[in-house]
């Protein structure tokens, strides 16, 4: 087949955080496929078709991209952050597994990007410097009971935690419940970072404690990082540094 398909991460927002490998794929593409706001980040040019779709159409989007590539197009599927972290790579492979046998002969590559979680952590210091986990708090694709179980087990294991999709207008109560569960498991002293729209003009970092954290501090553009029991804050005139030591006392 002459077509190919690349699933790429555009990073958290700033143009400078798009990798050269991803930039090269975008320059070679005949078609860009993705969620509307991410496709809008790609400058139009002659010979490039932009295919934007709604956020809840991931499998249809993936099938469309595979069909375009099977037809000889050079297709780039765009995600924000990294395409393998709560993004389009998994959806694409789900469609591939269930789809036409000819799709399996396509040249398919996943090109990594900088995740919102890592961009937020870097802004704050190094809160993910030791063992950590990432949990998507949206219950659109999994039951809330599973989310709550994972929160409790991650707290028991004393991971630092990064939370994606903490709170939306459609489900404002989930994050409030998550905070209740975490306070019950961890107490109130642990540091919590609310990192909104990192890298954009709307960027806002708020460092507080679990006891003082409130649901309204987060929205869908916010990554929330909860420290482990070992996470520290270094006070300094230029602003605090949040970090987790690489070693844990025996």
Q: Domains, the chain, ranges and CATH?
A: 4-114 (3.40.1010.10), 117-243 (3.30.950.10)
pTM for this model (two decimals): 0.93
CB burial readout 52-65, b (16+ within 10 A) else e: beeeeebeebbbbb
Q: Residue 121: name the closest of 104, 134, 137, 107 by CA.
A: 134
CA distance 108 to 175: 36
- Residue that the structure tokens 């704050």 belong to: 124
Q: Around 177, how many Cα atoms within 13 Å sit in the side-chain half-sphere?
A: 14
Q: Residue 66: name the closest of 114, 23, 18, 105 by CA.
A: 105
The structure tokens listed for 134 are 């990432």
Backbone angles phi, psi at 15, to 5 degrees: -60, -35
177 CB-near residues (< 8 Å, 6+ apart): 144, 148
- Cα-Cα-Cα-Cα dihedral of 41, 167, 83, 91, to 10°? -110
pLDDT in tens, the chain (250 residues): 689 999 999 999 889 999 999 999 999 999 999 999 999 999 999 999 999 998 888 999 999 999 999 999 999 999 999 999 999 999 999 999 999 999 999 999 999 999 999 999 999 999 999 999 999 999 988 999 999 999 999 999 999 999 999 987 777 788 999 999 999 999 999 999 999 999 888 899 999 999 999 999 999 899 999 999 999 999 999 999 999 999 888 7
Residue 199 carries which DSSP code?
A: T
Sign of CA dihedral 199, 200, 201, 203: negative
Query: Which whole-number Å values give the CA distances from 17 to 26, 50, 207, in the listed order?
Result: 14, 21, 24
CA distance 189 to 6: 44
Strand pairing report for 31-35 and 74-79: parallel
CA distance 62 to 211: 42
């Amino acid at each position: 087949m002459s077509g190919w398909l690349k699933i790429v991460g555009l990073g958290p927002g700033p143009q400078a955080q798009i990798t050269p490998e991803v930039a090269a794929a975008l320059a070679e593409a005949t078609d860009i496929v993705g969620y509307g706001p991410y496709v809008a980040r790609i400058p139009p040019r002659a010979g490039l078709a932009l295919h934007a779709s709604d956020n809840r159409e991931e499998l249809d989007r993936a099938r469309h991209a595979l069909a375009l590539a099977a037809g000889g197009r050079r297709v780039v599927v765009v995600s924000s952050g990294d395409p393998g972290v709560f993004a389009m790579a998994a959806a694409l492979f789900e469609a591939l597994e269930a789809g036409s046998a000819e799709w399996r002969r396509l040249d398919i590559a996943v090109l990594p990007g900088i995740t919102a979680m890592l961009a937020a952590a870097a802004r704050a210091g190094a809160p993910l410097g030791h063992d950590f986990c990432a949990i998507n708090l949206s219950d659109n694709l999994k039951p809330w009971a599973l989310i709550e179980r994972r929160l409790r087990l991650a707290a028991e294991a004393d991971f630092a935690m990064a939370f994606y999709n903490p709170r939306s207008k459609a489900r404002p109560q989930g994050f409030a419940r998550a905070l209740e569960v975490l306070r019950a498991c961890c107490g109130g002293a642990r540091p919590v970072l609310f990192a909104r729209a990192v890298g954009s003009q709307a960027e806002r970092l708020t460092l507080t404690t679990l006891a003082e954290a409130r649901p309204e501090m987060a929205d869908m553009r916010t990554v929330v990082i909860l420290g482990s029991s070992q996470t520290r804050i270094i006070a300094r005139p230029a602003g605090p540094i949040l970090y987790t030591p690489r070693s844990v006392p025996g």
